[in-house]
Structure formats: C-alpha cells, structure tokens
Amino acid sequence: MSKSFVADHRRALSRLDRRMFLRGGFSVGALSLLSGCTLSDGDAVDRVLWTMSRLNDRLQAVLFSPHRLAATFPASAITEPFPFNAYYPEWRAPEVDGTTYRLELAGLIADKTPWTLDRLRALPQTSQITRHVCVEGWSAIGEWRGVTFSDFLRRIGADLNARYVAFRCADDYTTSIDMPTALHPQTLLALGWRDEVAIRVAGTAQGSTIDMRSVPLGGFHDFGENGRRIEEFLLALDQKITLTLRDAPQAPAAGETEPPPAPPDEGDAGQ
C-alpha cells in the first residue's frame, strides 16, 4: 500500500468503524481469487495468509487511534447469557485451580517472576461494560474487571517497542495482539466478569440466618471466584458482628430487669 494511497484516502478511512471494516473486508476465499491460487497448495496458503496479515496490519495502523475509546454501556445492556465460544463444548472447559495458578511471563520482559491471582488482584483494579466483537462475526456486551494492561506491562518492565504481545491459555489456545492495542487504555488483563450475588436475611426465634448465593454469569468455571467472594463476605460479617457486640452496651435478657444502682459509699456521705 503506497503512502500516496493512504494520504488520499485517510479522511475516508478515518470515518469507518475499525471493527466493521475489518470484519467486512477480504476473506480467504476472496483473496485467493485475487491471487489466482487455490487453497490446496500449502505454500500458496501461506502466501495468502501473510498477504492478508500485512494488509490487515497496515489498515489497522491507519484506522487505529490510542485516544479513541470504545463505546461503554449501562448494566441493563449486558447480554444475558453471555455466549460461550471455544473449539470445544462448555462442559469440556479446563478446570484451573485459582490457589495454585501462576501467570508465567517470557520474552522481552525485565521481570519474569510468575504472578499469582492474589498478587494480580492486589494491583489497582478497573471495570468496564463494552461490546465484545468476535472475529467469527458475532458480538455481545459484557462487563469486565481487572488490571489495565498497559500498567501491567510497564510494571513488569516489558519492552514497549516490541511489535506484539502473545498469549497461551490453559486450553493451549494461542493468540496475540499488537503493541498499540495492548497499550490502549481500555485493554484489560481481565480477572473477573459480571456476576450475580443475592443475600437474604431471615429472622428466627434464635436470631437471624443469612443465605448468600453467588454465581458467575460469564463462564462455565469461576476459577474459585465464588468461593473467595463468599469467604470474604462471611469474614467481614463476622468481624463486623464481633466489633458491634464488643462496643455495644449489654442489654438485659428477656424477662430480666436491670439491677438497682449501687448505694453510695459511706465515705461519700455529706459531700
């Protein structure tokens, strides 16, 4: 793509929605027709895919702006249920033990120390409700919570001049994003998603009972999120009750009367 082409069409390109343009752009089949090859030849396929990749990178560079933010939505717009999408059925999603999980780092990074979930959650957190647009053509609105990815990259001393950031998931799925996308202020190292918590307090003759229900709305596995949330709630509740009982004056039990005040000491008589 020549510089003159970009200059002549920059204004028109800037008005296009980046995702819609790329989603509606060249397909493998269309590009194979333009290149005059079939996809039965491995070398030809590689040439087609590399051509698509280079074209895609150049178009993204033209359309991308680090200051342009994706639209955000109210909680009422969240897609329920949020679609599950993988190369396997939902019930085959790998189980990950959140207590032993480690985020392993490699590449052009100064500090390659693995990160636990507790350490990641101790970092400043943010959340956003945005539209997830899948490369397969569907989209859904969800709520994401986690660490601003650019902050994390700077914290670990990543080389911000690198071209890409690559990921390998627990199910061996691999992908990557370019560095400008990684540094965008809305790119998150997501640690959580929208969930539902319901707490019911019921009075009884002996006091009160508390029922708590916690379920994730964004995935088959919660990576221990529900258990951690319930434990933290019960611990905070126990601490609050303990402090309240310690600081509150003791009221007489039912059927009892308060004892009469003690008589004044004889030595105080006449004073």
Per-residue pLDDT band at 151 (split at 50, 70, 90): very high
Per-residue pLDDT band at 108 (split at 50, 70, 90): very high
Which one is predicted more confidently, 263 or 268? 263
Domain boundaries, the chain: 1-64, 195-247
Per-residue HEC secondary structure of 48-115 comes to HHHHHHHHHHHHHHHHCCCCCCCCECCHHHCCCCCCCCCCCCHHHCCCCCCCCCCECCCCCECCCCCE
pLDDT, mean of residues 119-132: 92
Q: What percent of the chain has pLDDT over 90?
A: 25
Lowest mean pLDDT among 15-29, 70-84, 157-171, 253-267: 15-29
Query: CA–CA separation, 19 vs 3, rounded Å?
Result: 23
Q: What is the pTM of this model?
A: 0.57
Indicate if the pLDDT at residue 120 is higher than 70. Answer: yes
pLDDT, mean of residues 9-22: 43
